Amino acid sequence: MRIIGVTGGVGAGKSTVLKVLKEEYGAELLMADEIGRELMEPGAACFRPVIEVFGETVIGEDGRLNRGKIAEAVFKDPEALKKLNGIIHPAVRREIERRLSLLRMTEPEKTAVIESAILIEAGYEEICPEIWYVRADKETRIGRLMESRGYSREKCLEVMANQMADEELLARATAVINNGGSRTSTKEQIASLMAL
């Protein structure tokens, strides 16, 4: 089974690359933030531990965790982010490894893609022989995020400040996808990498 790790900063285009890998190459997607989201639902493994650290005030009116409130707390405070990561990452990692072993048994011919904005920080180099770094310059990313998600410039900068620098990601990646241009150009780069 080919295992590819896809990383890149907020708004760089990871989801866009993943969509191509799934639709055109039948890849199986393992997205850390989506799995993290599932594990934070009421009754799931991380729900209570998060409340124990951040207090009852992070429970929303619908009884689920208020992600906006948690984001406000952690992206301004590296210590709080560390605590949140300490709860979410081990649980996400276990779930990803469980899904990978299942895939290895049932669909070994498939390509599995693990995606996270903080793939390297969270230690996934250990299980991903390939690390693809999806890249676009800061202003392009901010412009896209403001338009598509309604993020403020300040929010983009806050999240970026908590992510690994471009130079370090370039040094650690086994391949780089430049997503600062057109979607067609990105698809062509993916095609070259998939042909390897």
Contacts of 60 (CB under 8 A, 6+ apart): 66, 69
In the list ligand COD, ligand ATP, none, the entry touching 8 (Cβ below 5 to 8 angstroms by class) is: ligand ATP
State which of residues 27, 32, 91, 145 lies at the interface with ligand COD (CB under 6 A): 32
State which of residues 4, 5, 14, 36 lies at the interface with ligand ATP (CB under 6 A): 14
Least gap, CB of 142 to ligand ATP (angstroms): 10
Nearer to ligand COD, 74 or 190 (CB): 74
Question: Please, what is the end-to-end C-alpha distance for the chain in angstroms?
Answer: 14
Piece in contact with ligand COD (CB under 6 A), picked from 22-30, 79-87, 139-147, 182-190: 79-87
What the block records as the tokens of 100 is 């990978």
Residue 136 in the binding site for ligand COD (CB under 6 A): no
Residue 89 in the binding site for ligand ATP (CB under 6 A): no
In the list ligand ATP, ligand COD, none, the entry touching 14 (Cβ below 5 to 8 angstroms by class) is: ligand ATP
Q: Report how far residue 70's alpha carbon sits from residue 120's, in angstroms, rounded to the nearest whole number.
A: 23
Q: Report how far residue 39's alpha carbon sits from residue 35's, in angstroms, rounded to the nearest whole number.
A: 6
Strand extents, DSSP E, 32-167: 111-115, 130-135
Phi, psi of 177 (to 5 degrees): -110, 120
In the list ligand ATP, ligand COD, none, the entry touching 91 (Cβ below 5 to 8 angstroms by class) is: none
Contacts of 147 (CB under 8 A, 6+ apart): none
- For 38-62, letters b (16+ CB in 10 Å) and e give ebbeeeebbbebbeeebeeebbeee
Least gap, CB of 106 to ligand COD (angstroms): 26
In the list ligand COD, ligand ATP, none, the entry touching 144 (Cβ below 5 to 8 angstroms by class) is: ligand ATP
Give residues in contact with ligand COD (CB under 6 A).
Answer: 10, 32-33, 36, 67-68, 70-71, 74, 81, 84-85, 88, 116-118, 159, 162-163
